């Protein structure tokens, strides 16, 4: 049963919620619960008298109380638990707190702390959020979707928990990621929480630790795989199309071999994208556009080394290839500027086991003929950085310390302003730190990271590393695609988003070495990214035929601000 509807008073023009719950039911619904914020009229008409203390609080008073309790917590995991408990009590209050303290709290509700939380999710979970679908319940997927109590769904973030951040297979404990992404869609992008749905496809886990943990709450079986897995996902997608035909589906933290297949299989059939591939690639490209601006150089002047050719690595390589092609380079010239490494070292055309997206960036053996190698027959990262005269180094390996002083020093000898992007999450998995980059490059390096690092004062100035967080990208891309009513998300939309995002970095920020805008501007960033996406959708005949000013007006109107709407009693039709 739907618990409320959005309404507009035809006489006064007042926007309000028509609420179908009463009394105790109402104050236990986190999306509707105002706690002490219910007005005297609402208390009378909605059966709340006797359930609440006498004082009616403003949301600002509630916010002060919540912030005081948050800051009493002794460690980050306790802060995460507090915030999720607040989300379970009052979503509006949670989002007001998060939006007003976004820079402080994003590392708690998402990376890096969400990784720590997912590792212990079955032990710390207070209340289930979102939808869990298993092989045993997929036959009832339409009923599951129809039982959702929210008026409408426009965004679904889905994971199967197989590759959570850099932590691997966490089964249904990986639900912390879709929940966190929804938090960011609302806080940064401005989507209303009522239209967002986190989903976990609980197909089992191959993680022995979880299956043997007596407190694990997920499906205790090996992962569904092969044809059975494909049929399961197809049933899920078809149900999304039937029940939520205008919704955006975001694929999140699937294993590499599945992620590429799912993206290609469904990108033309449903409004969808993979944030780990496309969002990461587009955010990294925006940072690189800014680096080129700082250097007064072009992409074709660089030599890119990308270590870790999973979803993120392929996404970044693909975006760099697009930028090089835009500068007029042919396929051979592009390949000569991108060097991709994975577990075997430098990828060659004859490297066994390469998947098609990786093979596109493999080198011919002739490319390294004449290179001086530390060990003949093996082409290591150090060999590539030195022989290829690398100027940009990207890491998405989850191998802490991989970019050591010798690697960073070799990079710095190749160029005046080396670019280092150590993007693995959480912080404990990062390839290097900002201080490592500053020291090894004598303060000349431009740096971006997956998780935040504090500025470093050295060599006579302050050095700031960008947090290359997909938060800059996916909320705006999703909002723009929805406002445009596009049938699909295209590479051109992501490219437009990257250029727009880089263009928002001010001259003063570039002078500090910042490659992305200040996180405190994230609402405006999301609006501008959404406008770029919606405009590209329109211009490519995939979106609504609305001029720029009207599109921007619609986007800004869609960006919900956390506040308590007036309630009126009603009965579901």
CATH of the domain at 283: 3.40.50.720
Q: Could you tell me if 387 and 409 lie in one domain?
A: yes
Q: Could you tell me if 265 and 406 lie in one domain?
A: no
Q: Strands 419-422 and 567-569, how do they pair?
A: unpaired
CATH number at residue 243: 3.40.50.10380
Q: Could you tell me if 299 and 390 lie in one domain?
A: yes
In a domain, 559, yes or no: no
pLDDT of residue 15: 95
Last residue of a domain, one of 445, 468, 491: 468
pTM for the predicted model, two decimal places: 0.94
Q: Can you give the C-alpha Rg of the chain in angstroms?
A: 24
216 is catalytic: no
Structural domain count of the chain: 2
Q: Could you tell me if 259 and 375 lie in one domain?
A: no
pLDDT of residue 343: 86
Q: Could you tell me if 343 and 372 lie in one domain?
A: yes
pLDDT of residue 435: 96
In a domain, 549, yes or no: no
Q: Which of 20, 110, 185, 289 is catalytic?
A: 110
In a domain, 115, yes or no: yes
Q: What is the mean pLDDT of each run of 10 residues along the chain (573 residues)?
A: 92 96 96 97 97 97 98 97 97 98 92 92 94 98 95 96 92 98 97 97 98 97 97 98 97 95 96 96 98 96 97 96 96 96 92 91 93 90 97 95 96 97 88 96 96 90 92 97 98 97 95 91 97 98 96 97 96 74
Q: Could you tell me if 316 and 241 lie in one domain?
A: no
In a domain, 25, yes or no: no
In a domain, 565, yes or no: no
Q: Could you tell me if 106 and 253 lie in one domain?
A: yes
Q: Could you tell me if 146 and 169 lie in one domain?
A: yes
State residue 520 phi and psi, 5-degree precision.
-70, -10
User: Torsion over CA of 284, 290, 294 and 296, rounded to 10 degrees?
Assistant: 100
20 is catalytic: no
Last residue of a domain, one of 468, 501, 533: 468
Q: Could you tell me if 228 and 321 lie in one domain?
A: no
In a domain, 560, yes or no: no
pLDDT of residue 171: 98
Q: Which of 181, 256, 258, 429 is catalytic?
A: 181
Last residue of a domain, one of 435, 468, 501: 468
In a domain, 478, yes or no: no
H or E element: which one contains 196?
Answer: strand 196-201
DSSP reduced 3-state for 272 = strand
> Where in the sequence is the domain holding 84, given as residue range(s)?
58-270
Q: Could you tell me if 291 and 246 lie in one domain?
A: no
CA dist 539 and 533 (Å) reads 10
Q: Could you tell me if 238 and 299 lie in one domain?
A: no
- Phi-psi domain of 180 (left: phi exceeds 0; alpha: psi -120 through 50; beta: other): alpha
In a domain, 524, yes or no: no
Q: Could you tell me if 404 and 332 lie in one domain?
A: yes
pLDDT of residue 376: 85
């Amino acid at each position: 049963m739907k618990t409320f509807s959005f309404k507009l008073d035809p006489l006064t023009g007042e926007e309000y919620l028509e609420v179908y719950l009463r009394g105790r039911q109402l104050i236990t619904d986190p999306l509707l619960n105002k706690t002490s914020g219910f007005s005297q009229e609402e208390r009378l008409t909605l059966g709340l008298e006797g359930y609440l203390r006498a004082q009616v609080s403003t949301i600002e008073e509630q916010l002060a109380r919540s912030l005081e309790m948050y800051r009493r917590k002794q460690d980050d995991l306790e802060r995460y638990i507090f915030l999720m408990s607040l989300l379970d009590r009052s979503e509006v209050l949670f989002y007001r707190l998060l939006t007003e303290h976004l820079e402080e709290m994003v590392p708690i509700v998402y990376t890096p702390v969400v990784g720590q939380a997912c590792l212990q999710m079955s032990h710390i979970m207070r209340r289930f959020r979102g939808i869990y679908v298993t092989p045993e319940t997929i036959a009832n997927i339409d009923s599951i979707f129809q039982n959702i109590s929210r008026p409408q769904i426009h965004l679904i973030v889905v994971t199967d928990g197989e590759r959570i951040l850099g932590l691997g297979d966490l089964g249904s404990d990986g639900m912390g990621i879709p929940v966190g992404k929804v938090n960011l869609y609302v806080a940064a992008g401005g989507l209303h929480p009522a239209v967002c749905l986190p989903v976990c496809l609980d197909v089992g886990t191959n993680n022995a630790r979880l299956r043997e943990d007596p407190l694990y709450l997920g499906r205790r079986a090996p992962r569904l795989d092969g044809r059975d897995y494909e049929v399961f996902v197809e049933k899920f997608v078809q149900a999304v199309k039937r029940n939520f035909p205008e919704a955006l589906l975001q694929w999140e933290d699937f294993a590499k071999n599945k992620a590429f297949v799912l993206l290609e299989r469904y990108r033309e059939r449903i409004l969808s994208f993979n944030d780990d591939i496309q969002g990461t690639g587009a955010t990294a490209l925006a940072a690189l556009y800014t680096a080129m601006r700082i250097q007064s150089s072009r992409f074709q002047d660089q030599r890119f080394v990308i270590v870790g050719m999973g979803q993120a690595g392929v996404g970044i390589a693909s975006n760099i290839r697009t930028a090089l092609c835009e500068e007029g380079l042919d396929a051979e010239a592009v390949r000569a500027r991108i060097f991709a490494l994975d577990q075997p070292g430098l990828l060659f055309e004859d490297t066994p086991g390469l998947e098609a997206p990786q093979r596109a960036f493999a080198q011919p053996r002739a490319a390294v003929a004449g290179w001086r190698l530390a060990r003949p027959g093996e082409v290591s990262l150090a060999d590539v950085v030195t022989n290829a005269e690398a100027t940009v180094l990207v890491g998405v390996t989850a191998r802490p310390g991989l970019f050591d002083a010798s690697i960073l020093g070799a990079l710095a000898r190749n160029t005046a302003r080396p670019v280092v992007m150590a993007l693995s999450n959480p912080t404990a998995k990062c390839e290097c730190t900002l201080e490592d980059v500053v020291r090894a490059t004598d303060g000349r390096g431009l740096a971006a990271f997956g998780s935040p690092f504090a500025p470093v004062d050295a060599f006579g100035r302050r050095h700031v590393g960008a947090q290359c967080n997909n938060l800059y990208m996916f909320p705006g891309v999703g909002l723009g695609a929805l406002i445009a009513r596009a049938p699909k998300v295209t590479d051109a939309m992501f490219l437009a988003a990257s250029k727009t995002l880089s263009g928002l970095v001010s001259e003063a920020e570039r002078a500090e070495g910042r490659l992305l805008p200040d996180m405190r501007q994230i609402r405006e960033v999301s609006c501008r990214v959404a406008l770029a996406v919606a405009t590209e959708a329109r211009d490519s005949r995939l979106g609504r035929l609305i001029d720029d000013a009207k599109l921007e007006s619609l986007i800004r109107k869609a960006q919900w601000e956390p506040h308590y709407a007036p309630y009126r009693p009603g009965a579901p039709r």
